[in-house]
Amino acid sequence: MRNKDHLCVMYTSENDLLRFYSNLPAMAKQRIKLYPKWNALSLLNQDYEILKDRMAIQGESETKGPIIEQNVMYKLHQTYSDKQVTPWGVSRVQAPTAWSRNQGDGVRVGIIDTGIDARHPDLRDNVKGGINTVDTSSPFVDRNGHGTHVAGIVAALNNQIGVVGVSPKAALYALKAFDADGTASLTDIAQAIDWAIDNNIRILNLSFGSRDTSKILHQAIKAALKKGILMIASAGNSSETLDYPARHPEVLAVGAINKNGRVPSFSNFGKTLNYVEPGVDILSTWPESPNYNTLSGTSMATPHLTGICALLLSQAPELTPSQIKRILDRSAQKLPRISSRKQGRGIVKVNRVLSLANRLSNRTSPS
């Protein structure tokens, strides 16, 4: 009875409502929905034309008759569902300035996380596959939301709805190693890295961490780097030194900044922190209604850099992880009045990265 082809009728009392309803033919009653608490009912427009003469209340003035209304349709109060917005972090890293030339087309990005909602209208065209290492017999459905949020920051579609990611045409691969409660075992993560090695993933986003180190995980990371996979990890949200795997030297460690260019108190720090990216009040995709959510954390900062690197690899696919790191190091901009322990080399932005890569490419090209 939510269809706009229905009319709503409200009487002044329940007795008047029931007097009308009880005298209707059985067939008419089947198509009518009663709302006795409101002294109301709804019926099809065509039934109203047939029954409207019966609706008058006997012995009452015309002003006391029923109120007839259209079945008004309402929308949720969300500003991002029917018109695309560019989240502030995507703007801060200057991603939109590159899209006329490069949107990360086809660069294979693995998201080791809680899965990705592959049916999301802002992601479905970019989700190309993946694996569930928690349960290999099940798909990589995201029952937590974190992985879908991270994926949207990297590569939400530039499709005029919802949000847009840093690299809107990157190829996303959901490597579900985390369960619905947001936890993962060492073996599930290592298996996800092995899958990335076997399936030619170019970038791995690692928006997770632990205070404990692991030789097995470190070995898996080394193996991935040897195969040319760039790994980018979140620093952690505990106001202390970096978590693992961000602390491993083979991984790029990312902390967070807010809209004012300050490092939030939660963002982990240390001499091995590489960069900072937007990570506070970040709007991105979500697997449940209303399909978008705002989260904060170094988990949100990390996919901004992942998206930047997808744009870089789309422009220069021959680059190795070590070459990418040198370009990022030279491109990063220091933020004022913040120590290196809290911001690393600073914030990385798309324009500087792609321009530097282009200059270096021109220098090494044969004349």
CA torsion angle for 73, 76, 77, 78 (degrees, to 10)? -130
> H or E element: which one contains 190?
helix 186-198
Residue with tokens 């409200």: 10
Residue 143 CA from chain centroid, whole number: 13
The pair phi, psi for residue 85, each rounded to 5°, is -120, 155
220 touches 192 (CB < 8 A): no
Q: Would you please indicate which residues are annotated as catalytic (active-site) residues? A: 113, 146, 299
Nearest by Cα to 301 from 351, 353, 264: 264
Contacting residues for 217 by C-beta, under 8 A, at least 6 apart: 186, 189, 190, 244, 245
Q: What is the spatial distance between Cα 63 and Cα 340, in angstroms, rounded to a whole number?
A: 76
Strands 108-113 and 33-35: unpaired
Three-class secondary structure of residue 234 per DSSP: strand
